[in-house]
Amino acid sequence: MTWRQETQLKSILQNERGYVIHSGGGRSKFALVYPNLYKIGMSNLGIHIIYELLNNRADTSCERFFLPEPKSLGQIERAKTPLLSLETQTPLFKFPLIGFAVSFEPDYFNLLKILELGRIKLLSKERKDLDPIVIAGGPCATFNPEPLSLFVDAFVIGEGEAILPPLLDTICAAKAEGLSRTQTLQKLSTVAGVYVPSVPRQTKRQWLKNLDSHPAHTVIVTDDTELNMYLIETARGCGRHCRFCMAGYCFRRPRNRSLEVLKLEVESAKHFGKKIGLMGAAISDYPWINELCQAIRNEGLPMSVASFRADSVTAELVEALVSSGLKTLTIAPEAGSARMRAVINKGIEEEHVFRAVELGLAAGVRNFRLYFMIGLPFETLEDVEAIVTLSNRLKEYMQNHSGSGRLTLSVNPFIPKPFTPFQWAPMADKRYIEEALKMLRVGLKGKNIELITESPRESIVQAVLARGDSRIGEVLLKAHQNGGIKTFRQVLKELEIDVGYYLYRQRDKDEALPWDLLDQGFTKEYLYSEYERAQNLQKTLPCFDSCKRCGVCS
């Protein structure tokens, strides 16, 4: 039945432009794996960046793997055929290097499924000299690799452009020396930004200092993606110091690409005729956003943005989005009360939210979506009620100024993430979350406001994976063997793992945390001082030139 998988993969390739197939020998094969469906993976800009980086090397041939669609997955499992690469339909087990890009905790289960489908031994300790070396990078690897440490041989801690070249050079040198697998992993553990669980040592995050030296944009163009856009990264990192945001800490320092480079990328994208998708932590914070919008419009291209902040959004940006077909404007206050926005250091007040809605209405937008979290540290039910109050006032404002339109609230339980000031804080328990959600439903009833919420049960699984240690790897393995993510909570009980230990207790300031072997460039003392500032409702200013507060830029 291998022919069926080959036919499906070749069909996908026929709809792509920009993929690479290297002919002849002399190149080492590298399997780049996104542990989710093709259409999701190809919407991830990181996959495009790494694919181009690796294939530009004279010694590497990079090919892609994705989790098969459910129907194809069933066929592969029944036929017991190995998972094949997209480019040349080569089995995964024939690649000496396998690199996973892991962005979301639920994809941990897919990572194990792909290894199994590819006929790779799941446990790192069971792999021998002729088995592939399994690497993982991405946000999840950078902030807490421990739950995957039983399965992954080496983790990329930081940004791939800065780490992968020396990592591959080291592997090539080890191969030339005829080193064993164990010896190769020992050498890898000495590479800056590479964490090897079998050789545990302090690993410092590495990051790209000059973004212009590595332009980041869509490399393989296809219509079969979630976004169906030509993606361009405007900036990386964020200096706003939102205390809940892992990306804001693990991708410091904030860096902008030059307007000149972005204009060239827009010009290069023109002949594809796709909507430009600007990527970054907060597009409206880009210093030359108005000029960039004008450049895109001058090329006659529509555009979209990954996100923007209500306190920096401009009329020019909103107008460019609306002219590109935007129907719904998304705003993320995160919290309903001024007190809670001070706790999280969001830097957005009600007037900013109303101003963003005003700009949207003036440009012709009638629908708005607001993002909120519940269960934040130091939150009370009065703060939850403030979400109701703010939302009702916004709905009334919309009706008075447009007479119609939809207001949608997306509300998710908060998960305290590693390497944030809230890493010591307990997660709100299920009873509180359910009471808060009930308060929202009652308060919004009959107001023609749509409420979308994430299941508290799903949040618990995500939180255990985000905050877990290597013992959670044992739970992952058994859950994988028993049916995947749907069995995870049951396996926790069977193995007598106390969820409360990971989620519902206040951690001591000096407690050893699972991710302490990683060095993000700032100290625990700095993070804890931010935790104390949160409790005292103290504001922290955004990053600025010559700032030495956190230590990343010193």
How confident is the model over 230-248, as pLDDT tens digits?
Answer: 999 999 999 999 999 998 8
Torsions phi, psi for 230 (to 5 deg): -95, 110
Specify the pLDDT at position 2: 78
More confident residue, 402 or 352: 352
- CA 20-24-29 angle, to 5 degrees, is 60
Strand partners, 291: none
In angstroms, what CA-CA distances link 519 with 33, 194, 206, 522? 26, 11, 10, 7
Cβ neighbours for 15, distance < 8 A, ≥ 6 positions apart: 222, 223, 224
Instruction: Give the pLDDT band (50/70/90) at residue 31.
Output: very high
Q: Name which of 244, 251, 531 is nearest 371 in CA terms.
A: 244
Look up the pTM and report it.
Answer: 0.96
Q: How far apart are CA 469 and CA 230, in angstroms?
A: 38
Residue 118 has pLDDT above 90, yes or no: yes
Determine contact, residues 60/30, Cβ cutoff 8 Å.
yes
Specify the pLDDT at position 229: 96
Strand partners, 305: 278
Averaged pLDDT for residues 547-554: 87
Domain ranges (residues) in the chain: 2-204
Residue 25 has pLDDT above 90, yes or no: no
Q: Name which of 268, 208, 196, 182 is nearest 232 in CA terms.
A: 268
Specify the pLDDT at position 76: 93
DSSP-derived secondary structure letter, 148: G
Q: How far apart are CA 522 and CA 529, in angstroms?
A: 12
Residue 465 has pLDDT above 90, yes or no: yes
Average pLDDT over the chain, rounded to whole? 95
Q: What is the 3-state secondary structure (H, E, C) of 185-236?
A: HHHHCCCCCEECCCCCCCEECECCCCHHHCCCECCCECCCCCCCCEEEECEE
Instruction: Give the pLDDT band (50/70/90) at residue 440.
Output: very high
Specify the pLDDT at position 332: 94
Specify the pLDDT at position 548: 86
Residue 391 has pLDDT above 90, yes or no: yes
What does the pLDDT look like over 300-311, one tens digit per residue? 999 999 888 999
Torsions phi, psi for 86 (to 5 deg): -70, -45
Q: Name which of 434, 437, 465, 467 is nearest 451 in CA terms.
A: 437
> Would you call the peptide bond into 253 cis, given omega within 30 degrees of 0 as the criterion?
yes
Specify the pLDDT at position 1: 58
Percent of the chain with pLDDT over 70: 100
What does the pLDDT look like over 492-519, one tens digit per residue? 999 999 999 999 999 999 999 999 999 9
Lookup: tokens for 370: 């607001």
Determine contact, residues 243/534, Cβ cutoff 8 Å.
yes
More confident residue, 307 or 408: 408
Averaged pLDDT for residues 272-290: 94
